[in-house]
Amino acid sequence: MQIADVIQCGCGYVLLGDEEEEMLRDADEHVRSIHPELIGTLSPLELARPPHEDEAAS
């Protein structure tokens, strides 16, 4: 597995996958179950990015 195959959500959840389609599916499932208020605001992979340092501090 390459480093690009691991994405950590800002909440700490870690997404693992061998293919982009698998990662997108897992990210979508995570957002729908844990962050439903964010559905439709950004793509699943954008939502999976950890917050910037200045956002995390607030």
Half-sphere exposure in the Cβ direction for 54 (13 Å, CA): 0
Taking the alpha carbons of 41, 30, 11, 49 in that order, is the dihedral positive or negative?
negative
For residue 15, what are the domain limits? 3-57
Question: In the chain, what percentage of residues exceed pLDDT 90?
Answer: 3
The residue with greater pLDDT, 16 or 48, is 16
Count how many domains the chain has.
1
* Model confidence pLDDT, tens digit, residues 33-53: 998 988 888 776 676 665 555
* C-alpha span between 2 and 52 (Å, rounded): 23
* C-alpha span between 11 and 17 (Å, rounded): 18
pTM of the complete model beyond 0.75: no
